[in-house]
Structure 1
Amino acid sequence: MDYLVVKWLHILSANFLFGTGIGSAWYMLFASISRDVRAIAVVSRYVVIADWLFTASTAIAQPVTGFYLIHLAGYPLNSRWIMWSIALYILAGACWLPVVWLQIRLRDIAVEAAGTGNALPPQYWRYFRFWAALGVPAFCAFVIIFWLMVAKPA
């Protein structure tokens, strides 16, 4: 496949990955802050779906297209910027895996509370704090990865 096409796919999937992450986090955060249990139940359902459709698929596409670009461009795999990008991507993935589980639990708790007309239990807020805390290093990792991809520092 042509370098330009692979690069376009890599950039496109990076935008889907980062954009879905930011968008999902934004809506989940503000739905939760509203404390409207029905809104939280609806938003969290769609956040879980978006995570599986967009985040999971592009999380696979990114390393596939990235390693192919490295091959096509002839960059040494042990280039510092590539090694840092890989390490930060692994860090972001290590944050994302528990976030998936947490989002599913947050959704289930919110759906149950909305169905019974109850307030969200303390467990929801405990999971929510972990969910938010894991988003910070993942977000920072992706911002740095974007810079590394553009700058390719020596």
Structure 2
Amino acid sequence: MDYITAKWLHILSSTLLFGTGIGTAYFMIGAVLTRDPKIIAAVGKKVIVADWLFTATTVVIQPVTGFYLVYLADIPLTSRWVLWSTALYLLAGACWLPVVWLQIKMQQLAESANLNKNGLTSLFWRYFCLWIALGVPAFIALIIVFYLMVAKPV
């Protein structure tokens, strides 16, 4: 694969990764703020599917194309911006994995509350707070990775 194709795939997958992440977060937060279990369950189901379809695939494509670009450009893996990008990407991934689990649990709790005509449980709200707490550092980490990819500071 040539450099331009690899770069295009890298940029495209980073756009999908970031766009899907911010989009699903926006819709999930909007659904949760309604406090309506039926809405939360329906939106949560779509968020989970989007995460598996788009986020999971781009999570794999990003490092593959990124390291391939570093190789093609003959950039040392020990460059500070490469090391920082890698560390921050791993941090974002470490936050994302539990977020996916939390989304599944929140969706199940909302579905159960809807079926039983109950309100959302305190466990749902604890999961939601943890979901936010993990999402913020992942978002910040990816913003910094975007900067590092573009600026490539020495």
Global fold match (TM > 0.5): yes
The corresponding residue for 2:95 is 95
**1:124-149: CA deviation from partner (whole Å, max 9, x where unpaired):** 00000000010000000000000000
**1: CA distance, partners of 2:151 / 2:88:** 16
Report the TM-score, using the length of structure 2 for normalisation: 0.98
Map 1:50-69; keep pairs closer than 5 Å: 50-69=50-69
Long gaps (5+) in structure 1: none
User: Which secondary structure does the structure 1 equivalent of 2:75 belong to?
Assistant: coil
Map 1:1-150; keep pairs closer than 5 Å: 1-150=1-150
Runs of 4 or more, structure 1, over 6 Å off, are none
**1:20-53: CA deviation from partner (whole Å, max 9, x where unpaired):** 0000100101110111111101000000000111
Q: How many residues align?
A: 154
**2: CA distance, partners of 1:12 / 1:114:** 38
Long gaps (5+) in structure 2: none
**2: CA distance, partners of 1:10 / 1:114:** 41
Q: Percent identity?
A: 60
Report the TM-score, using the length of structure 1 for normalisation: 0.98
- Deviation, 1:83, is 0.3
